[in-house]
Amino acid sequence: MSFIIVLMASRNAALVTGAAKRIGAEIALHLAGRGYDIALHYGISEKQALETAEKVRGHGVSCELFQTDFKDLEATEKLLSQVKKTFPNLNLLVNNAAVFQSGRISETCAKKMVETFQINFISPYLLMREFHETVKKGSIINMLDERITRYDHTHSAYTLSKKALRELTYMASREFAPKTRVNAIAPGYVLPPTSENPDMKKVLKQIPMGGTGEVKDVLSAFDYLIDSDYVTGQIMYVDGGRHV
């Protein structure tokens, strides 16, 4: 028994939010492949979370599920300490969960703006704060969006929340160094959104590399940020040059 505890304590562990499916699930599987124990957070996608957890365990690491609705800030504030009870070896936080909805400023009611900020900005903020306070040495990676360089008024709440998360990434990288590194990845078009059908001809015209990205491109950026002990306050754009 004590051998297992020593073994677990010596391993890396990551909390990946929104990891039941899509990019979050791929990140969790990739980290498992690198030997990380996985705290797999999900909101409502329980079935996919169970399936992803099985695949994660196939890499020979531990994986536990943590359900939290990020609209519930009290529950969100408790998430990190719950994860730490199971994984005292937690040393990586990936803020991946997000809500992506269209809507211009004129179409966005207060409730939608507040909920988007709760999920996309305040939850990562609470998790980052708690993570930094309790970790010995760690790393945080926030998922942004290349839209942070533009004013996509057709997705006003989403774009504003990701811009806020960019500023938090920079600010925390100063405050949390040298104990905790804080970096971010800003993907472009990687997986089609589930909530809408973009005009692909128009999208492709805006991408200098002339095509959409793949999850593997995001994972390469992950590897760089995880392995680079001297890198903090960095935003890696994985967008085929769309932000330029």
Ligand X SMILES: NC(=O)c1ccc[n+]([C@@H]2O[C@H](COP(=O)([O-])OP(=O)(O)OC[C@H]3O[C@@H](n4cnc5c(N)ncnc54)[C@H](OP(=O)(O)O)[C@@H]3O)[C@@H](O)[C@H]2O)c1
Catalog residues that contact ligand X under the rule CB under 6 A.
Answer: 18, 20-24, 42-45, 69-71, 96-100, 119, 143, 145, 187, 189-191
Helix, strand, or coil (residue 155): strand
Min dist. Cβ of residue 2 to ligand X (A): 35
Min dist. Cβ of residue 46 to ligand X (A): 7
What is the separation of C-alpha 234 from the centre of its chain, rounded to a whole number of angstroms?
A: 15
CA dihedral (124, 56, 219, 12) in degrees, to 10, reads: 70
- In the bound state with ligand X, the residue whose beta carbon lies nearer, of 11 and 224, is 224
Min dist. Cβ of residue 25 to ligand X (A): 8
Min dist. Cβ of residue 106 to ligand X (A): 23
- In the bound state with ligand X, the residue whose beta carbon lies nearer, of 76 and 89, is 76
Do 161 and 117 touch, CB atoms closer than 8 A? yes
Question: Hey, what are 231's tokens?
Answer: 């890198």
Burial-class residue 98 by CB neighbours within 10 Å (0-12, 13-18, 19+): buried
Min dist. Cβ of residue 239 to ligand X (A): 8
- In the bound state with ligand X, the residue whose beta carbon lies nearer, of 25 and 135, is 25
Min dist. Cβ of residue 12 to ligand X (A): 21
Measure Cα distances from 102 to 18, 190, 197 in Å.
20, 17, 11
- In the bound state with ligand X, the residue whose beta carbon lies nearer, of 72 and 229, is 72
Residue at shortest CB range from ligand X: 43
- In the bound state with ligand X, the residue whose beta carbon lies nearer, of 8 and 65, is 65
- How far apart are alpha carbons 142 and 125 in whole angstroms? 10
- How far apart are alpha carbons 67 and 216 in whole angstroms? 26
Min dist. Cβ of residue 15 to ligand X (A): 13
- In the bound state with ligand X, the residue whose beta carbon lies nearer, of 8 and 48, is 48
- How far apart are alpha carbons 54 and 117 in whole angstroms? 31
User: Beta-strand (E) ranges in the chain?
Assistant: 13-16, 37-42, 63-67, 90-95, 138-143, 180-187, 235-238
- In the bound state with ligand X, the residue whose beta carbon lies nearer, of 49 and 89, is 49
